[in-house]
Structure formats: structure tokens, C-alpha cells
Structure 1
Amino acid sequence: MRSPTAPRVAAVAAALLGLLLSLLSAATPSAHAAPTGFRVANGRLLEASGNDFVMRGVNHAHTWYADRISSLAHIKAKGANTVRVVLSSGDRWTRNDTADVANVVAQCKRNRLICVLEVHDTTGYGEQSGAVTLSRAADYWISVRSALAGQEDYVIVNIGNEPYGNTDYANWTADTKAAIQKLRGAGFNHTIMVDAPNWGQDWAFTMRDNAASVFAADPDANTVFSIHMYGVFDTAAEVSDYLNRFVAAELPIVVGEFGHDHSDGNPDENAILAVTRQLGLGYLGWSWSGNGGGVEYLDMVTNFDPNQLTPWGRRIFDGADGIAATSEEADIYSSGGGGDTTPPTAPGTPTASSVTSSSVTLTWAASTDATGVTGYDVVRVSGGTETVTTTTARTSVTLTGLAPSTSYTFAVYARDAAGNRSPRSGTAAVTTAPGGTSAGCGVTYRVTGEWPGGFQGEIVLRNTGSSAINGWTLRWTFPDSQRITNLWGGTATQAGSEVTVTSASYTAAIPAAGSVTLGFTATKGSANPAPGAFTLNGSACTAG
């Protein structure tokens, strides 16, 4: 969601319009195998039943408000049939891991909602600092695929939010094709949704004019296009013209975001609602609650309270052509095909064995489920937070990267094929053995970027000893109350100014004379002094 900073492109000349539409129609593929769940046919989004599905819903900023998962039930209670859920790949915000994605899907199904899941870290790529590519977003989807496999009836994968700003947006076409093909190559059979460039508003018509070739690049012919309508779409003529071009070309289109007002201009929400109803197209308003940065007026409810509808909330839920008047529940639910919504039983309390200074093996009694348990989430609880290791259907796992002489608490959840998560098992308390890998270490700490109230840092951890390090815990104390907000390369916990980082699976082993690099973002005060000392597995490290 962002306004364009370049001038609005003029409408395509009438002489070119006929040529454009003929090219779009000619490029529309046919004769593809039907997907197992949602699919596209003749420009329409269909359920597996063959019936049209028209999205009527809202966006929910889950990645920033993970504790507000109950919002899905509230959104359903207002009449929505779909929710678009904001997730993060971990590049700009805290990563939503496989277990969290599985839980979001299970909650959508429990509340009889269709889930459109999107990665927000791509927002404004090419113009927004820190934004990542669609290829990087596709890698994230592949990493959480176990939470999505088999969910094609319930989940639509929106590869990346607003994947280009107003810089280099001509690359959108090639990058979008490549990302779709990467997901198909990885085994994704879901309907894929792709957002427009220009902060989602496509004022340069890059998506509109290249949609047919992007659709043709999908070997499953199962891609839906998403336009975000803010200040660029401030007249009924602009709304109608844009959407009708896709309909005429038999290319599927939804309004993936829109509002009733915006700092870049006043979108015509009445036209958006009316035209989508007339054309039978879906829409997803932005957003349920939690907006900041000057666009708080886009909240539909105040402070996530479903009983405090804002003017925008009243308009989209209860107004003419709004959700309450036009939403129809997905056929997979309303036709008695709601699928499995019963969670597995709780697994047995895990027991610990083979406890070392840096690892432990956990074993538990299997959960039961009518359709079978497909995996388990092993939870390590520390200071109120949970670190999740996702396993297959096996009932034991060896966890590494633990700190010596440290107490941990573990529990287990089961997951079934429908994405339902079981109640939590009992907990097991484990204290690791003393010691840990003894090796020399060196640390280089540097600030790579700063902004008011925050900064990005990098830590290079070197093994200066003669033997490999296998599993490590790095500790330091911030001298000026800096606080970690996100870290990659390990798992961070912080108590006051004291930071503890345990290795990730891919950084746990450091060969002799080798190194690993950690990156992080953090808050800061007016000063930002570097930490004075670091310890690795309890031993002091040299600086520099």
C-alpha cells in the first residue's frame, strides 16, 4: 500500500486497445490439467466443485499481530468468506515459520474462511530499502510447503505483496513468471495470486499489458491477478476501465487491497464495490485493524475490537455492495464439504535421553487422528516465547545447538493432513550437561546501517581454535539498552541488556579457521555503543 511518485500514465490509445485485447485473448492458454483445488477457467476462479468463487473479505496483518489470531473468527462473524493474511519471510520482519503458517491455515478452516496468504517483505522492491525479490519470496513458500501441501481447496498463495515500487518495475513481468515457475517446479498445485507493481496500483499498466503472457507462463494455468486500488483509482471510470479489460480478455482479476481514503488521493470505494459486484469479481479491503504510519483511518475496527466498527468498517461490511450483502461462503464449507476440522489428540509428554552439553533426544507417544497424523511441532519454551522444530510423523527428534548447563522446557503438538493442530502435550524439563565445545573464538561487531531509533548490525563469529565447533551459544551485553527486534543466523533471546543467541541448524558447525555471520536489527537510544565483550559456550572471545 503506497502511492505512486511518478505521473499517472495516460490511457492507452483506442487504436492500440483492440490490438492489446486480441493479444491477451490469443495468449490465454488452454488444455491444462485441472488442479486439485481452486482453479481458473475462462477468466473465472472456480472451486474444485466447479462453482464460481467470489472473494468477499479483508486483509489481516498477522505477522505484526500474531497474538490476534482470534481476529479470524471476528472477520468471519462479520460475513467474510476470505481473509488475506500478512506473513513475513523473515527478511524485514519476524519470520512466520512452518508451524505458524499451519496454525493460520487451521484457524481459517476452523472459521470456514478461504486463506489468501501473502509475503509482505517484497513490498516496494527496487524503491523500498530492505525489500526482497519475488524469487526470495518463492524460496520462503518452498520452505513452509509442508504447511500448505494438501490445502489447495482452502489456500491461495499470493507470492509477494506489491513486489515493485516505481523503480525498475518493467522487470515485474519476467520476475513474476520466474517466481510462478519456481513454485510449480517445487510441487505447488495451489492457485497462485500475483500483485501488480507500482506499489500494487499498476499506474504504468505493466501488469495489465503483460497479464496474458504471465498467465501463459504458468504450466497449471492457475494464476489470479491482484490490483490494489488507492489514489490512482479515484474515479468510477478508472475502476471500471481497468477491471473490464481483464474480464474482456478472460483473465482472472481481484481487488486485493483498497480503502475508502488515502494520503495519495481519495479512491472511489463506492465504484470499486459496485463494479466488482456487477462483474462478479472478488475484493479484499485493507485492513481489519492495527494500521499505523498515518493511515490509521484504514482500520475497520478499533483496537481489534469487533464491536467497535469504524466508518470504513461499517461501509465495507454493512454498506451497499458490501460484504454482508454479497458474500457467499465457499462451497467446500457450505455444501457439506468442510473437510476435516477435527484436531488430532495431544501427543504423549516427551521424555529426554542422550542429553549432552549441546543436544538432547526427545521421544513421545504418538497422537491419534481419524485421517492420520502427518507431522509434529516440537516446541522449546524460553521466557514466554516458543522456538518450533517441525518434524515428520516420526515420534522422536534430536535437537542440537543448545547451551551447556542450561534448563529448557519442551512440548509437542501434532498436525494432521488438513492442517489441524492438536492440543499441547505435557512438558519435559531438561538441563544440558556442563561444558560445551571448547574452542578459541573471535568476534567482529559492526553497525551496517542506522535510522532514528534503530539500526542494523552484523556479527562475524570466527573459530580461532584447531577443532570444529558443533553447536554454540553466543552471549553479550548491550551497553546502552539496545534491543534486538529480528536476528538471522540463530535464535536470539534477550533479558534486559543481556543477549543470548543459539545457533541455527545451518550455522551450528564452524570448522577450524572458519566463520559464520549473523545479522540483526535492533532499537537504540541516542547513542549506539558497541558491546564490550562476547562469550562463546562460556569462553571469552577476542574482538576485532
Structure 2
Amino acid sequence: MRSPTAALLRLAAVTAGLLGLLLPLPGLGAPAHAAPTGFRVENGRLLEASGNDFVMRGVNHAHTWYPDRISSLAHIKAKGANTVRVVLSSGDRWTRNDTTDVADVVAQCKQNRLICVLEVHDTTGYGEQSGAVTLSRAADYWISVRSALAGQEDYVIVNIGNEPYGNTNHTAWTADTKAAIRKLRDAGFDHTIMVDAPNWGQDWAFTMRDNAASVFAADPDRNTVFSIHMYGVFDTAAEVGDYLNRFVAAELPIVVGEFGHDHSDGNPDEDAILAVTQQLGLGYLGWSWSGNGGGVEYLDMVTNFDPDRLTSWGQRIFDGPNGIAATAREAAVYSSGGGDTTAPTAPGAPAASAVTSSSVTLSWAAATDATGVTGYDVVRVSGGEETVVTSTTGTSATVTGLAPATSYTFAVYARDAAGNRSQRSGTVAVTTSSGGSQAACAVGYKVTGQWPGGFQGEIVLRNTGTSAINGWTLRWTFPDSQRVTSLWGGTATRDGAEVTVTSAPHTAAVPAAGSVTLGFTASRGSANPSPTAFTLDGAACAVS
């Protein structure tokens, strides 16, 4: 579903005859290759860590547009749901949900004994919707908030991006989805991953249906669930049944991640969606609790977020035949013995000692927890983002690999055995020493052009020494969450707000008194301050 104010696209209807002409998917019955720490997929079914079959019964909640309505999660649970799909933003189209907010959403889900499906909405209609971003960009967002998700694999499913293609170039969905899954796995995500279909989520061209087997096989953990959004394209029982049965026959996991009782592109058959998913034991998540606009207010399940004012759609999905109240079963992680959903207290703000040009030792007062604190995560805080730099079971840690004469901000989180994470501690600011190490270099940085949300920049690296530089690594930290999107003259990697560039073959050699020039494009917020410190091979450069 698009934002409450976006224009709605009318999709072409798909006939049952066309469905019958297409070949079924090949089977994939192999169990997951990894040993997941939480949810996992086996033989086309979504299982909890305990091995219990889990069937989602829940709704979508537009958190990113209504952050003050977090109490809606308690109301959704009270109606009988076992799952909530929560709308988040990477900051590209709407206000970014930062690490602290994501952690709070997860905590609220756990307190209300709900499974959390978290999705990035900024990908909606990519290639057709102005401002929509790629799945790769969405994966970068998940990596930036990973500290809020690590250890939550029993409770959280990561839905990479909402409706990641419109109807333009939708065949690119397959390769882009595989790449985004690999990016998350390479970054250490052990969660079950959910992927939405293209064609505004409705897959009328069957790109997801016919390529789901290869996408599933491309996940090294074999722990991916597919999500179809059923609106006007699915206006007959035959279409609903054909689509879902093909996935079941192929032992590929499928859920209806969004659907409604009506829509501008046609009248979906909600009775068939509810009946077929119940018959096949498949999950569904209706759109949406409240707050719809742009002409689709009829999709609100309650009026003005009031749980006592169910609309006709709300009455149907919660209390009607095959609805949530009659069919939902609470996740075993909560219902078996209740589960520990109480987070530890926040640890004390860290104190810094033994500060050198490349390291600092941090120590803090211990957190407390009824069942015991099992560890601490030290995070670097920069421009609203957090990056875990080290983890420990004690109350002190040494952070290494820092740049000389550079300012850093650190904080600490505590965790318990159930994976509950505390609130963030207070922060400490640290500036590393210069260490007497000043590289024979100077850096010139300038913005050569900018536009809303992005800019182009240039970096001139000068060799101010008397001998040639042969191969180099340049580092800097953006002060306001800018992100390099492309770079020429070297190879860029990013760790939070810190950018590392290694030389390209044609820029590796910098003669004495010579220079090389790098160019890049990047995203930005409303401000675009310049970085103030650069290091070359770990030593500080002069900034000119």
C-alpha cells in the first residue's frame, strides 16, 4: 500500500484463463541450510525456533506516519492478532525511523506479545513512483539499524521493502531481490526475511511467482518468505486459490502481506482470501489499522485509531468468518511459559580512559535484569545512526581501529538471555589524539552541485611529501548522515557515517607534489555540512 496521500494506480485485471496457461513452480523441499536462531522456513512452512508452525494473523500499522500512535499495537493485540506489520521509513521519502525508534517498536511488539514484521516503505513502486528507492538502499537502512534487531530473531521478521517495483522494469525484481537478501546475510542478519512482489505488490505479471524458487535458493540460509498483496487483481476466488496453491505445491512459503475489502483498481475477494489462507494454513496481514488517506479511507479498520469504533472492514477481518479472532494463535515464544519480554535497565553512561590515536577504553555501570544481563553492545553514534563496534559480557571494552585526531560518540546497550535490549545509555564524546602522526598529504573537499536529497562532490588528494605514494586508503566521516551512492577514482565502503575509499589502479600512484581527484554522488538531508577530518593510511591529512 502506498502512502496515505499518494495517487493510486489502477492495475490490469488478470484472467483465470491466463493463469491456467502458466507452468507451475518447481518444488523446493529442502530444509534451511543454516541453523536459524529464531524463525525458520522448512518445507514451505514458517516455523518458530521451537519447531512450532506459525501462521500470521494480523494487520498493518502505519507507524512511520503516525509515530504517536504506538499504543495501537496494544489495541491490535486486544482484537486477537498475533502479528503486526509495521511501516517504517529509511528517510528517503518520509521521516527516518532511527535505531532508537526501531528498538522501541520491537519492544512494544514484545510487550504486547505480537510478532513484528518490519518493512521499509520507501521502495514502494520503484521505477514508476517518484522518489522511490531501490531494494539495495533499503538493505542499507536495515544494516544501519541492525543493533536494534540483533538477538530479536524469535520476534522479528525483516520485510526488506514494500512493493519494490511498480509496473516499469519489474522483471529486474528477481536479481535485485537476490542481491538485497545476500547483502543482509553478508551483514550478519539471521532473521527470516520477507520479500514483497513487484507490480505494486500484486505480481500480475507473475515475476515473483515464476522466480520464487530461484530467489529462495539464492538465500544462503534458505529462510525467505514471499509476500503477495491482494487488491483489485485478485477479484475472484479462482485467482486467489490458483496463486496461493502454486506456492504451496512447490513448498515455497507465501503470506498475503496486504489485502483489503475494496480498492480503486477493483474489488478484491476478501472472503476468498480469508477462506483460502485458512484452508491452506497461510498467513495474512490486512491493510490497515487506521490513518489511510488519499481516497482510500475505507481501508481503515477503526475510525481515528479508536479501537472501540470498528468500521465494516474492521468487523469483517477481526470478527467475521476465518477472521483474526477465530483463527489467530499466539506465537509459542510467548504462550509457552509466557516468555521474557522485560528489558534490562539501561547501563550507566560510559566513561573514557586510555585514549590514544587509534583506540579508547570505555567502562560503565552495570545494568540490571530479573533474569540476568548476558552482555553489552557498544555502539558508535553518528548523525542519528548507530553502529555496533564491539560486544562484551563485562562492563568495559576497548574500541580499536579509530582514526587519529577524530571525534567519536559512544553509548552502550544491555541484553538479557531472551534477547531483550535495554534503552540506550548516556553517551560519551571522545577525541583521539594525533599521536604525532601527520601524513604528508592535504585534502581539498568541495560540493560541485546539489539538489533536494542529493549532491555531487569532489575530493582532491595531494601528496605534500618528497616521495611517491603507491596505493592508499582515505577515510572521513560525514557529519550529517550523508551517504555516498557512487564514486569514481576509487572503491568506497561505508561503516555508518564513516567512508573508506581505496585507490583504483589509475589513482594508486600519487607522485611527490602531485595529486589525484575523486568524484562522487551522495544523498543528504536538509543540511549538507562538509567533513572536517581526513586520514590517509591511518594518519591525519591537512584539510585545505
- What TM-score comes out, normalization by structure 2 length? 0.72
Q: After superposition, what is the alpha-carbon deviation per residue over 1:233-260, rounded to whole angstroms, capped at 9, x for unaligned?
A: 1222322222222223332211001112
Q: Tell me what 2:114 maps to.
A: 113
Q: Tell me what 1:307 maps to.
A: 308
> Any idea what SS the aligned residue of 1:156 has?
strand
Q: Tell me what 1:165 maps to.
A: 166
Q: Tell me what 1:62 maps to.
A: 63
> Any idea what SS the aligned residue of 2:422 has?
coil
Segments of structure 1 that go 5 or more residues without pairing to the other structure are: 432-438, 449-453, 475-483, 490-502, 524-529
Range that drifts further, 392-401 or 53-62: 392-401
Percentage of pairs with the same residue: 71
8 Å contact 2:348–2:365 — kept in the other structure? yes
Residue 192 of structure 1, CA deviation: 2.0
8 Å contact 2:346–2:424 — kept in the other structure? yes
Structure 1 residue 179 corresponds to structure 2 residue 152: no
Q: Tell me what 1:53 maps to.
A: 54
Q: Tell me what 2:346 maps to.
A: 346
Q: After superposition, what is the alpha-carbon deviation per residue over 1:454-486, rounded to whole angstroms, capped at 9, x for unaligned?
A: 87666779999999x998998xxxxxxxxx9x9
Segments of structure 2 that go 5 or more residues without pairing to the other structure are: 3-7, 432-441, 466-473, 485-495, 502-514, 534-542
8 Å contact 1:124–1:131 — kept in the other structure? yes
Q: Tell me what 2:102 maps to.
A: 101
> Any idea what SS the aligned residue of 2:276 has?
helix
Q: After superposition, what is the alpha-carbon deviation per residue over 1:300-350, rounded to whole angstroms, capped at 9, x for unaligned?
A: 2334333333332232222332211211101121122x4432322332255
- Partner Cα separation in structure 1 for residue 531 and residue 159 of structure 2: 42
Q: Relative to structure 1, is the Cα distance of residues 413 and 306 closer, same or farther in structure 2, using a 3 angstrom cutoff?
A: farther
8 Å contact 1:344–1:373 — kept in the other structure? no
8 Å contact 1:373–1:393 — kept in the other structure? no
Written as runs of structure 1 = structure 2, the 5 A alignment for 1:58-457 is: 58-336=59-337, 338-351=338-351, 363-369=363-369, 370-376=371-377, 390=388, 392-393=390-391, 395=396, 413-416=413-416, 418-422=418-422, 444=447, 446-448=449-451
Q: After superposition, what is the alpha-carbon deviation per residue over 1:182-211, rounded to whole angstroms, capped at 9, x for unaligned?
A: 434444333222111101001111112222
- Partner Cα separation in structure 2 for residue 391 and residue 80 of structure 1: 37
8 Å contact 2:475–2:500 — kept in the other structure? no
> Any idea what SS the aligned residue of 2:50 has?
coil
Residue 517 of structure 1, CA deviation: 7.3
- Partner Cα separation in structure 2 for residue 305 and residue 487 of structure 1: 39
> Any idea what SS the aligned residue of 2:55 has?
coil
- Partner Cα separation in structure 2 for residue 264 and residue 535 of structure 1: 48
8 Å contact 1:109–1:154 — kept in the other structure? yes
Residue 121 of structure 1, CA deviation: 2.4
- Residue identity matched to 2:422: S
- Partner Cα separation in structure 2 for residue 187 and residue 208 of structure 1: 27
- Partner Cα separation in structure 2 for residue 488 and residue 515 of structure 1: 15
> Any idea what SS the aligned residue of 1:85 has?
strand
Q: Relative to structure 1, is the Cα distance of residues 38 and 346 closer, same or farther in structure 2, using a 3 angstrom cutoff?
A: closer
- Partner Cα separation in structure 2 for residue 192 and residue 427 of structure 1: 32
- Partner Cα separation in structure 2 for residue 138 and residue 429 of structure 1: 29
Q: Relative to structure 1, is the Cα distance of residues 506 and 185 closer, same or farther in structure 2, using a 3 angstrom cutoff?
A: closer
Residue 5 of structure 1, CA deviation: 5.3
Aligned length: 491
Q: After superposition, what is the alpha-carbon deviation per residue over 1:110-139, rounded to whole angstroms, capped at 9, x for unaligned?
A: 221111122222221222233233233333
> Any idea what SS the aligned residue of 2:248 has?
helix
8 Å contact 1:161–1:195 — kept in the other structure? yes
- What TM-score comes out, normalization by structure 1 length? 0.72
Q: After superposition, what is the alpha-carbon deviation per residue over 1:286-313, rounded to whole angstroms, capped at 9, x for unaligned?
A: 1223333332332223343333333322
- Partner Cα separation in structure 1 for residue 399 and residue 71 of structure 2: 33
